[in-house]
Amino acid sequence: MTVVKQEENITITEHVVCPFCATLCDDLVIHVENNQVVKVRNGCNLAKGVFENAHKEWATPRIRGKEVAYGDAVEEAARILEASDNPLIYGLSATDVDAQKKCIELADLIGANLDNASSV
Amino acid sequence: MVALQLGGAPAATLGEVKNRADLVIFWGSNPAESHPRHFTRYSGAAKGRMNPKGRKDRYIVLVDIRPTPSAKYADEFIQIKPGHDFEVLTVMRMLASGKLPDARSVGGVEVQTLERLVSRCKDARMGVLFFGQGITETRGKHQNSLVIYQFGKEMSLYSKFLTLPMRGHYNVVGSGNTMCWQTGYPFAVNFGRGYPQFNPGEFSVVDLLKRKEPDAALIVAAEPMDHLPYEAARHLENIPTIVLDPRETLTTRMATVVIPVKHAGISVEGTAYRMDHIPIKMRAVLDSPWPKDDEPLERIIQRVKELRKEKAAV
């Protein structure tokens, strides 16, 4: 991470890549204060939305709407997928390559259908 | 994607486009709203080695069914009738080979306008045709993209000519590349027989869900309840659906199991592929209490193996 400077509580990071569209602009400058993005330089409006809203409406671990411990959510996911005869794994297009590889490994293990946003 | 497999694609990086292209065509794409900085960084105003004056060194054409906000950045706007992309492109291929159609206009466009466009493509130092969802997600789908790839190949007889899709999700190219590298196929893969099989239409997400075939789903970094046709997405409400996502979405709200994860490129580093297949290392600027998504996926893999052993032992 290229931290350029620290002004009081504000951390300024240069050469940040925008994870929104596939243009992957790699010249953003992001100002962070108290783990919240307070300023986005060089980014378009879409990039501003992505960074400024990144920590709004965080997901929580849940089973059927009830909050649970992280491990319980993982356990329930494993139980569902192991019991499935014809599972579907879909997505992959808004995460990184390592996570994509794990999805493929899991699909191979459970005999799943595997598809990404190219097909839509 | 299917078109790419059928036709092949004359392609290059966006750096080549910036440095060399003097003719840029956007077809069924509205970069001003969907990829706002594509134009300033690569395809429009960007200054390059052979384009020292930037915007002035490029002729930019927008082809669409209505004048979108991108039209004001173009030198020429060509409006075609909805659903006539294939027809118009086919006539352009005819014109390129010296044949004249038996009509004055096609798809709402004067044949003369298309003749001028084709001769610009032939005379370009480097021409680029970027195509968007107006081509890939309308009637005809991969046939539209295929005729674009064919046109690009034919133009390469006269000039350097590229045909590049304007990809959407930031790492959709990576998902295709990673699946190709690991399974041999870019999408619509099925492991039901213990080895990867590829069949769009049979194993593609919209078709599977419309036929109500899956009995469980794992959604990783996607928003099917928002992005898929509802007649397909609604099947997810009737089966156990597991979602891995950093934020609450329409899909997490209806999911059976929600597993929160870090946001790649915001709260954790990772690699993504740009639309021209260049891998780029993403940085992290925020902290998140949750693990990166490969960690719960690995735990699920281990647990599935253990559950199978337990079952086999009984």
Report pLDDT for B90.
97
Mean of the per-residue pLDDT values for chain B?
95
Assign residue B118 the CATH number of its domain. Answer: 3.40.228.10
Distance CA B162, CA A114 (A): 30
Is the CB of B170 inside 8 Å of chain A's CB atoms? yes
What does the buried/exposed string (b/e) look like for B156-184 if buried means 16 or more CB atoms within 10 Å of the residue's CB? eeebbbbbbbbbbbbbbbbbbbbbeebbe
Report pLDDT for A119.
82
In this structure, are B179 and B153 located in the same domain?
Answer: no
Instruction: With CB atoms and an 8 Å threshold, state whether A88 touches B260.
Output: no
Report pLDDT for B17.
97
Separation in Å, CA of A46 to nearest CA in chain B: 8
Closest chain A residue by Cα to residue B255: A64
Q: Read out DSSP for B17-62?
A: HHHH-SEEEEES--HHHHSTTHIIIIISS---SS-TTGGGG-EEEE
Predicted ipTM? 0.95
pLDDT tens-place values along chain B, 314 residues long: 788 887 788 889 999 999 999 999 999 999 999 999 999 999 999 999 999 999 999 999 999 999 999 999 999 999 999 999 999 999 999 999 999 999 999 999 999 999 999 999 999 999 999 999 999 888 877 899 999 999 999 999 999 999 999 999 999 999 999 999 999 999 999 999 999 999 999 999 999 999 999 999 999 999 999 999 999 999 999 999 999 999 999 999 999 999 999 999 999 999 999 999 999 999 999 999 999 999 999 999 999 999 999 999 98
Report pLDDT for B158.
96
Instruction: With CB atoms and an 8 Å threshold, state whether B285 touches A32.
Output: yes
- Angle, in degrees to the nearest 10, between helices A97-110 and B172-183: 50
Report pLDDT for B7.
78
In this structure, are B126 and B62 located in the same domain?
Answer: yes
Rg (CA), chain A: 19
In this structure, are B159 and B218 located in the same domain?
Answer: no
Report pLDDT for B297.
98
- Establish how many alpha carbons lie within 13 A of residue B88's alpha carbon, considering only the half-sphere containing its beta carbon: 26
Q: Which of A16, A21, A105 is the best residue to mutate to test the B interface, defined by the most B CB atoms within 10 Å of its own CB? A: A21
| Phi, psi angle pair for B231, to nearest 5° | -60, -20
In this structure, are B134 and B224 located in the same domain?
Answer: no
In this structure, are B36 and B106 located in the same domain?
Answer: yes
Q: Which two tokens stand for residue B2?
A: 């299917």
pTM, entire model? 0.94
Report pLDDT for B89.
97
Which strands form B257-260's sheet, in the order they lie side by side?
A: A66-67, A62-63, B257-260, B241-245, B216-220, A87-91, A113-116, B189-190, B197-198
Distance CA B70, CA B76 (A): 11
In this structure, are A8 and A47 located in the same domain?
Answer: yes
CB neighbourhood size of B234 (10 A): 15
For residue B141, is it left (φ>0), alpha (ψ between -120 and 50) or beta?
A: left
Report pLDDT for B97.
95
Identify the CA nearest to B154 among candidates B94, B88, B80.
B94
Q: Which of B144, B165, B186 is the last residue of a domain?
A: B165
In this structure, are A68 and A91 located in the same domain?
Answer: no
Is the CB of A82 inside 8 Å of chain B's CB atoms? yes
Q: Which amino acid would we find at residue A57?
A: E
Q: What is the mean pLDDT of residues A43-49?
A: 96
In this structure, are B179 and B198 located in the same domain?
Answer: yes
Owning domain of residue B257: 172-313
> pLDDT of B147-173, one tens digit each?
999 999 999 999 999 999 999 999 999
- Stretch (H or E) spanning B217: strand B216-220
Distance CA A90, CA A73 (A): 19
In this structure, are B182 and B209 located in the same domain?
Answer: yes
* Total of domains in chain B: 2
Owning domain of residue A97: 87-120
pLDDT higher than threshold 60 for residue A1: no
> pLDDT of A71-111, one tens digit each?
999 999 999 999 999 999 999 999 999 999 999 999 999 99
Q: Which of B130, B165, B200 is the last residue of a domain?
A: B165
Instruction: With CB atoms and an 8 Å threshold, state whether A98 touches B206.
Output: no
Q: Which two tokens stand for residue A51?
A: 């960074």
Is the CB of A5 inside 8 Å of chain B's CB atoms? no
Tell me which chain B residues have a C-beta less than 8 angstroms from the C-beta of A35: 286-287
In this structure, are B22 and B98 located in the same domain?
Answer: yes
Residues in chain A, overall count:
120
